[in-house]
Amino acid sequence: MEESSSLMNNFDGELAHHETQLSPVDDVEKARPSTNTRPRRWIHSRLLQRNTLVWALSLALGISILFYTWDALAVSQRALRMLSAKQQEDDPYSDSVREQNTTTKIGVKPPDVTVVGIVFFGRRQYVDILDCYLQRNLALNGGYLDEVHFLSHNSKPEDIDWVQGLIDKTLGYKYVETEGHYGTVWKQHASEPNTLYIKIDDDITYIHDDAIPRMVHTLIDHPESYAVSANVINSPEGHWLHYHTNAIVPYLPEPHEPDFPLTPERTSWRPSKIPEYPQVSIPDHFDMNMAPPRDHHRWLPLSRNSKNLHRTPIHAAAYEWEGIGVTSWSLAAQQHASLLSNIEDGTLNRYYFGDETGVWNMQNYRYSINFLALWGSTVRASEISSKDELDIAVKNPERLARPLLIDSHALVAHFSFGPQQNQLLKTDFLDRYRSYANEMVCQAENQKVPF
């Protein structure tokens, strides 16, 4: 007991001595008596561990909130884009559709370059529609064409009389009588060295506002090129290209006579104004030998999916410059129907291909020359026979080591090749192109009516 009492007295004495060494000013907490007899270092360690745990939990929570917020923003952006796309689908007359043929022209016409359009003329029912696009593209109207020359070649007298009447009342138009084969026509009437020529077939029924400006600038920007072609709707190679750029829409000829008479005057260019193809009548495969079902018949849209697309004429498209791409009227009809759909839907970008600027090098492979830009000096350096397309698209580019380019953003529509013409004229597409031109291109005093 005495030994135990002595130990307690020594402990109390040490404790009293320790407390007298603490300053209440310097450390109030430490100056207070403590009932905890454990070492204070253990207490500091516990506090440090607790603080570290709190900071770690806070950091983890902050990172989690950051990732959650980032993901939420990404989802919101995707939702906004989907909503915007849905609104455009729900509104077929959105600004992009209304203005698709009134877009701002790229650049400004080079002041030191003369640009002349040359129309290989012969058929007034097509040129009557083309006239609106030509006048729109005249330099005096803010376009790029300083003049338009109508090169009469094997034209009928009544067509010559008609075009001369058009020329007499249109500033910037000129009539040119030609002789000899096509090679002679090129050499005699499109060979001024410093003139840039735009060769235009007379059955071009649609020209996007950017087509001619783009072709002029692309030719200037590519001095190594032989010529620059437009991206032609209804060209043999174009069928395959547009099929694989997802520009083609499933269409088939209307299987039955409609309940009301279809007249050119009542025909609208807008696909939204025509009914869908009846589901019960969709064939598994389209007969490429099928004749037009009736005069002035319509082509009706199917639901847009791969299965339906494979049931339509486009399934027969091939990347070749002859054959079915030239002879098939149904391939051409589906091309025209698809173009009008893409115009109304504001999806003309589906036709684009090539490099980042939309330029495609034909690598000396043949392409139709329905709408072509080239310099007069190039024509002078070329050898052009009666087979002008073969010489211009293949032989001369190969001989001169200068490629034929396509500007895929320069969209135009070519109505028909010879073997397609009679069957296509039994569709309503010429009337629909006229309807589009009257609404979107022609001046009020220059509205067109069927012949």
pLDDT in tens, 147-159: 999 999 877 899 9
Alpha carbon distance 31, 24 (integer Å)? 5
Handedness of CA 302, 303, 306, 308 (dihedral sign): negative
Length of the chain equals 451
pLDDT tens digits, 277-299 = 998 778 888 999 999 999 999 99
- The four Cα atoms 418, 315, 330, 260 give a dihedral, to 10 degrees, of -170
One-letter amino acid of 410:
A
pLDDT at 234: 98
* Sequence-distant (≥ 6) Cβ neighbours of residue 9 within 8 angstroms: none
Q: Give the side-chain half-sphere CA count within 13 A for 141.
A: 18
Q: How far is CA 236 from CA 66, 314, 316, 372, 426, in A?
A: 55, 12, 11, 16, 21
The backbone torsions φ and ψ at residue 175, rounded to the nearest 5 degrees and listed phi first, read -100, 135
Q: How far is CA 450 from CA 110, 265, 358, in A?
A: 37, 8, 36
pLDDT at 391: 96
pLDDT tens digits, 347-380 = 999 999 999 999 999 999 999 999 999 999 999 9
Contact 205/130 with Cβ under 8 angstroms? yes
pLDDT at 98: 37
Which of 71-80, 227-236, 301-310, 347-356 shows the lowest per-residue confidence on average (mean pLDDT)?
Answer: 71-80
pLDDT tens digits, 96-152 = 443 444 344 577 899 899 999 999 998 999 999 999 999 999 999 999 999 999 999
pLDDT tens digits, 167-208 = 999 999 999 999 889 999 999 999 999 999 999 999 999 999
Tokens for 221?
Answer: 């920007």
Alpha carbon distance 353, 365 (integer Å)? 16
| Residue bearing the bigger pLDDT, 181 or 78 | 181
Work out the number of other CB atoms within 10 angstroms of the CB of residue 203: 23
| Residue bearing the bigger pLDDT, 91 or 112 | 112
Contact 253/283 with Cβ under 8 angstroms? no
pLDDT at 94: 38
Alpha carbon distance 317, 311 (integer Å)? 12
431 pLDDT band (50/70/90 cuts)?
Answer: very high
